[in-house]
A = this chain, B = another copy of it.
Amino acid sequence: MMRPSGRNLSDMRPISIETGIMRHAEGSCLISCGDTRVLCSASIEEKAPPFLKGSGQGWVTAEYGMLPRATNTRNRREAAAGKQSGRTQEIQRLIGRALRAGVDRRALGERQIVVDCDVIQADGGTRCAAITGGWVALRLAMNKLLKAGIVTADPIMDHVAAVSCGIYAGQPILDLDYAEDSEAGTDGNFIMTGAGRLIEVQMSAEGATFSRPEMNQLLDLAEAGIAELVRAQNEAVACAG
Copies of this polypeptide in the complex: 6
Nearest-CB distance from A116 to chain B (Å)? Answer: 5
Number of A residues contacting the other chain (C-beta, 8 Å)?
A: 60
Q: Given contacts A43-B68, A77-B65, are A90 and B88 in contact (CB under 8 A)?
A: no
Say which residue of B116, B193, B199, B209 sits within 8 Å of A68 (CB atoms): B116
In the complex, the 3 A-B pairs of residues with the closest C-beta atoms, listed nearest first: A86-B89, A78-B79, A197-B209
Name A's B-contacting residues (CB within 8 A).
Answer: 22-25, 28, 35, 39, 41, 43, 45, 63, 65, 67-74, 77-84, 86-90, 92-93, 97, 101, 114, 116, 118, 120-121, 188, 193, 197-206, 209-212, 215, 219
- Contacts A23-B35, A200-B205 known; list 14 others, CB within 8 Å: A22-B70, A22-B121, A23-B121, A24-B69, A24-B70, A24-B121, A43-B68, A67-B118, A68-B116, A74-B114, A74-B116, A79-B81, A79-B83, A83-B83
